[in-house]
A and B are shown apart, each in its own frame.
Chain A
Amino acid sequence: MGYKTIIEDDIDILVAGAGLGGTGAAFEARYWGKDKKIVIAEKANIDRSGAVAQGLYAINCYMGTRFGENNPEDHVRYARIDLMGMVREDLAFDMARHVDSAVHQFEEWGLPIMRNKKTGAYLREGRWQIMIHGESYKPIVAEAAKKSADKVFNRVCVTHLLMDESKENRVAGAVGFNVRTGNYHVFKSKTVICGAGGASNIFKPRSVGEGAGRVWYAPWSSGSAYGLMIEAGAKMTQMENRIVLARFKDGYGPVGAYFLHLKTYTQNAYGEEYESKWFPALQEMVGKEYLDPEASHATHRPIPTCLRNHAIISEVNAGRGPIHMVTMEAFQDPHLEEIGWHNFLGMTVGQAVLWAATDVDPKYENPELTTSEPYVMGSHATGCGAWCSGPEDLSPPEYFWGYNRMTTVEGLFGAGVMPLVVRRTRSLQVPSPKVVWLPRLLVNTSTTARPKASVLPMPRSSAARKRSTSHWKPTRLAVTKLLPVLLTRTTSTRVRVWIVSRS
């Protein structure tokens, strides 16, 4: 056969995996390293690769400090409640203070952002979300990367990171293969930015046969972000975290704009509001500090999305399903109807195809909602990924050991799905939280209570027990190897939670 081995040497920055995160990182890297050699390796074509290949019709994290809307600490507070305490607040703050400048750059690059005609500000979908015409979100950012990188290797799938022989725990590049030619590619690089993806199809998809590919997250997402990191020895965090989303049935059509912008709402099979009925039981399960409906009514405090999804599951289990999204009211307004369809066409065309094929017109019938199968991924406000250093000026000493967003492996950085609670580095939008933790995995993070040992096995050393008595948040770090099969080995460690508060 004669496969070739192709060596690319003297790279300064290798971007392994160029979805929206990797392409954005390549652009930013060019500014900081004008004369550096920046190379991108991507298993598809960067014009349409990664989870944003279809586009995205909202930017789900925009502070709007420019319009006097939110400050970074507001978003930290929101993320803390919505993720029930499982956040790195230094990283959340850092992401929030940079995200607006990324959005303003995207607008300059040509991304159409909808404006509020009265105020001139960006059109808000919810408190954190803004509406965009984002069909070409990925190609627009990819264009920036193409202008920035020295070389772009499309169709080269990175399979392993290389480690430095002369220095322990130091990354030295990556290897992969061309999915078309089978040629073996070796990238020798001083630093690696891992922008690879999370994992679909670990759990059996709800749709089978031909529908297997119509998963919520991209079917080509193999979990290589975690596979690469783990094999390189990077410390991973909260890998037991799974994301389950409420979506339109069978097509996984997004619900964010429907809930927030179109003001549609859910009801059970009897046309009843069901969510609040489950609040007392949920509150008992997670504690009042995470679910306090009265406080939520009075302030902007969110009801954690995972609990709202849990209410859907509970209601269906109680025999009062299916859950419907009430679209019939909003869709009588032709403008809102158009936005509802654009929303699908710009990011989940499959839902529009399904409704057209099965004659589901949301103007005249309320379509069905359901929860997705679980995924392992780090964006979309889930909580797993590599343990990364925070920025120097924000992070407490134990969260800071080098460059911002560097993993525990020297020279190995994360972008996109991979770093814990980074969500996405500067170049990326941050989708709204849509996460369900299975209840047995919930960690009670109140100051005194500790997780039950039977549920969450803890390290049993006496020193560890002593440390965990007061303000330590015990966390089990399960490391999940996702490539090539789901094979689990675990390590346990403890981290202290630092929170942003008024001084």
Chain B
Amino acid sequence: MPTFVYMTRCDGCGQCVDICPSDIMHIDKSLRRAYNIEPNMCWECYSCVKACPHHAIDVRGYADFAPLGHSVRVHRDEEQGTIAWRIKFRNGKKDMDLLAPITTVPWGTGYPDLAAAPAPAKEMRDSQLLFNEPKYVRMDEGGLHTLESNGLELKEGVYY
């Protein structure tokens, strides 16, 4: 179910070319419009559909057995932190609006400033801890699990 481009909406900006993980959205040099150069390598991941500022890209069914007439459209908004879908069945019996959050914080702000975080001390470097551990393992004062702390050991052989 590969992507295709509505030629009247596309302005050849190349956002889809930039994002496509399969590298199959290209710009036609004479028409200056995007198109899917290799429909059979399209994962239908909707990355280009979400990235297109003009909603010029859509996805259709397989040519051999999925007829046209349906629609699955999306609007992803990082500022609002939401993704809005609309699914329309071909027979018109189902028309769903679905809204989901994509982030709980203003986009791009929830990250710790690693450059400002204190450098790991030798004790930390020699331990099995990762960044933010042990605190983030349980969000309390508990330590990291070890075999010893959990009353375990590794035994040779297979015993169940």
Contact status B154-A89, CB under 8 Å: yes
Instruction: Choose, from A5-13, A100-108, A168-176, the stretch at the interface.
Output: A100-108
- Contacts between chains A and B (CB distance < 8 A), count: 297
Q: Which A119-137 residues sit within 8 Å CB-CB of chain B?
A: 133, 135-136
Complex alpha-carbon distance, A358 and B69, angstroms: 10
Chain B contacts for A354, CB-based, 8 A: 1, 61-62, 66
Name 10 A/B residue pairs within 8 A (Cβ), A-sorted: A31-B117, A71-B145, A98-B130, A109-B110, A136-B103, A220-B23, A345-B83, A356-B70, A357-B70, A392-B128
B window 11-34: CB within 8 A of A: 18-23
What distance in Å separates the Cβ of B57 from its nearest Cβ neighbour in chain A? Answer: 12
Q: Is the CB of B72 within 8 A of A34?
A: no
Tell me how far the C-beta of B119 lies from the nearest C-beta in chain A, rounded to whole angstroms.
5
A473 touches which of B66, B136, B158 (Cβ 8 Å): B158
Q: Choose the segment among A181-189, A230-238, A414-422, A494-502 that binds chain B (4+ C-beta atoms closer than 8 Å).
A: A494-502
The residue that A345 contacts in the complex, of B85, B146, B151, with Cβ under 8 A, is B85
Chain B residues closer than 8 Å to A49, beta-carbon distance: 21
Q: Check A214 against B1 for contact (C-beta < 8 Å).
A: yes
Partner of B42, one of A85, A213, A341, A447: A213
Report chain A residues within 8 Å CB of B137: 65-66, 97-98, 100-101, 104
| Contact, CB under 8 Å: A147 / B21 | no
Contacts of A43 in B (CB 8 A): 23
Q: Which of A204-212, A263-271, A318-326, A453-461 contacts B (4 or more CB under 8 A)?
A: A204-212
Cβ proximity bits A213-227 to B, threshold 8 Å, 1 near / 0 not: 111001110000000
Please report A residues at the B interface, Cβ cutoff 8 Å.
27-28, 30-32, 34, 43-45, 47-50, 53-54, 65-66, 71-73, 80, 85, 89-90, 93-94, 96-98, 100-101, 104-105, 107-112, 133, 135-136, 140, 143-144, 147-148, 155, 179, 207, 209-215, 218-220, 250, 289, 338, 341-342, 345-346, 349-350, 352-359, 361, 391-396, 404, 426, 445-447, 470-473, 496-503
Distance in Å from the Cβ of A407 to the closest Cβ of chain B? 19
7 additional contacts (CB under 8 A) given A110-B104, A219-B22, A342-B98: A45-B18, A97-B144, A108-B110, A214-B1, A219-B42, A220-B22, A394-B147
Q: Are A356 and B71 neighbours in the complex by a CB distance under 8 Å?
A: yes
Most buried by A among B18, B81, B90, B145: B145
Task: Tell me, in angstroms, the Cα distance from A27 to B114 when the chains sit together.
Answer: 9
Instruction: Pick the residue among A93, A143, A350 that contacts B1 (CB under 8 A).
Output: A350
When each residue 78-119 of chain B gets 1 if its CB lies under 8 Å from chain A and 0 otherwise, what string results?
A: 000101010111110110101011111101111110110101
